[in-house]
């Protein structure tokens, strides 16, 4: 999917405080028609018109995948972020109309698995909610380990335990509990697929532990959307569009390109999918690669950039856009 794919106008039908930091939003199509079906692990980009600023944030769909009358997402408030989650928390009420993109799944279930081992941290639980619904409906064996700061701050803990019983294991930081990753990985049957979603540090730890234990790369699945970093303002020139664009301190390069009226492809807006990859024609300065898509060699070559999360410092940057 790209930026030119048809978008969906939705109405907010419900806003629920899940924890002091997390709200749940339900959306239905503004024209009353069914929403597109999706699979567990999919996300949508939510567009928010905040005065002169158009914000676009990715959120995992957490409602049952078969349900096309509405979608639900959960948003954790990030007081130090660029404003998207604050907008959702402060401005979006029942009745608020928003635009979303068609669902895209960069974190699908691998149905060949003999067993699914799911490890979530904090708000990283959201893609698993839709996945578990699908796994349970299909009778597929799964085991969820969910790391939270405390039971009170853990979204959907009670609901998950009530619905899925012993297949759900909650690990509370405030009780000194950690996901026993080494032991867990050692006891899985051959053919188990591992899925992880949560804070970067936790994901890197789980994936590194799995690789060190000899798990093959094709058995490891993770979803890692990065928030675009803020930084010093700079200018970028677009050779095809013949535009020179100022990127402000809290704007991503992709946001700035779009704000200038230039269409650019995207799918995750979080440095993970590769859709926004753009060729660098010349660079007098340093590209600050913040994505997790390009290889270290590609980053070192300076020939490509992911404008959704990466920035630039220096005299001039010219892109093939």
Task: List residues binding ligand FES (CB under 6 A).
Answer: 266-269, 271-276, 291, 293, 306, 308
CB of 223 to ligand FES, least distance (A): 12
CB of 308 to ligand FES, least distance (A): 3
Residue closer to ligand FES, measured from CB, 27 or 266:
266
Q: What is the SS3 assignment for 112-165?
A: CCCEEEEEEEHHHHHHHHHHHHHHHHHCCCEEEEEEECCCCCCCCHHHHHHHHH
228, 217 in Cβ contact below 8 A? no
Q: Name the burial class of residue 248, with classes exposed (0-12), middle (13-18) and buried (19+) by CB atoms within 10 angstroms of its CB.
A: middle
CB of 34 to ligand FES, least distance (A): 27
CB of 275 to ligand FES, least distance (A): 5
d(CA 111, CA 100): 28
CB of 130 to ligand FES, least distance (A): 20
259-293 b/e (C-beta count within 10 Å ≥ 16 → b): bbeeebbbbbbbbbbbbbbbebeebeeebbbbbbb
d(CA 59, CA 24): 11
Residue closer to ligand FES, measured from CB, 113 or 287:
287
Residue closer to ligand FES, measured from CB, 236 or 267:
267
Residue closer to ligand FES, measured from CB, 2 or 91:
2
d(CA 7, CA 133): 26
CB of 226 to ligand FES, least distance (A): 9
């Amino acid at each position: 999917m790209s930026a030119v794919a048809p978008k969906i106008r939705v109405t907010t039908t419900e806003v629920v405080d899940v924890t002091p930091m997390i709200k749940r939003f339900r959306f239905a199509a503004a024209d009353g028609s069914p929403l597109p079906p999706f699979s567990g692990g999919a996300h949508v980009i939510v567009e928010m018109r905040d005065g002169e600023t158009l914000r676009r944030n990715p959120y995992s769909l957490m409602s049952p995948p078969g349900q096309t009358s509405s979608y639900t997402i959960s948003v954790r408030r990030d007081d130090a972020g660029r404003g998207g989650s604050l907008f959702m928390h402060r401005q979006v009420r029942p009745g608020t109309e928003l635009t979303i993109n068609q669902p895209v799944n960069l974190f699908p279930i691998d149905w060949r698995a003999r067993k699914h081992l799911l490890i979530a941290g904090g708000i990283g639980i959201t893609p698993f909610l839709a996945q578990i619904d699908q796994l349970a409906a299909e009778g597929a064996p799964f085991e969820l380990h969910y790391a939270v700061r405390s039971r009170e701050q853990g979204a959907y803990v009670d609901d998950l335990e009530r619905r899925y019983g012993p297949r759900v294991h909650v690990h509370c930081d405030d009780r000194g509990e950690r996901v026993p990753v080494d032991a867990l990985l050692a006891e899985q049957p051959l053919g188990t697929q591992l899925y992880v979603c949560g804070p970067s540090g936790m994901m890197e730890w789980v994936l590194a532990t799995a690789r060190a234990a000899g798990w093959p790369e094709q058995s490891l699945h993770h979803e890692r959307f990065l928030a675009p970093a803020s930084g010093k303002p700079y200018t970028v020139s677009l050779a095809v569009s013949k535009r020179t664009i100022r990127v402000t301190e809290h704007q991503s390069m992709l946001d700035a390109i779009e704000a200038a009226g230039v269409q650019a492809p995207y799918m995750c807006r979080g440095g993970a999918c590769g859709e926004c990859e753009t060729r660098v024609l010349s660079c007098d300065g340093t590209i600050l690669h913040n994505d997790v898509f390009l290889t270290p060699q590609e980053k070192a070559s300076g020939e490509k950039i992911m404008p959704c999360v990466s920035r630039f410092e220096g005299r001039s940057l010219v892109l093939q856009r």
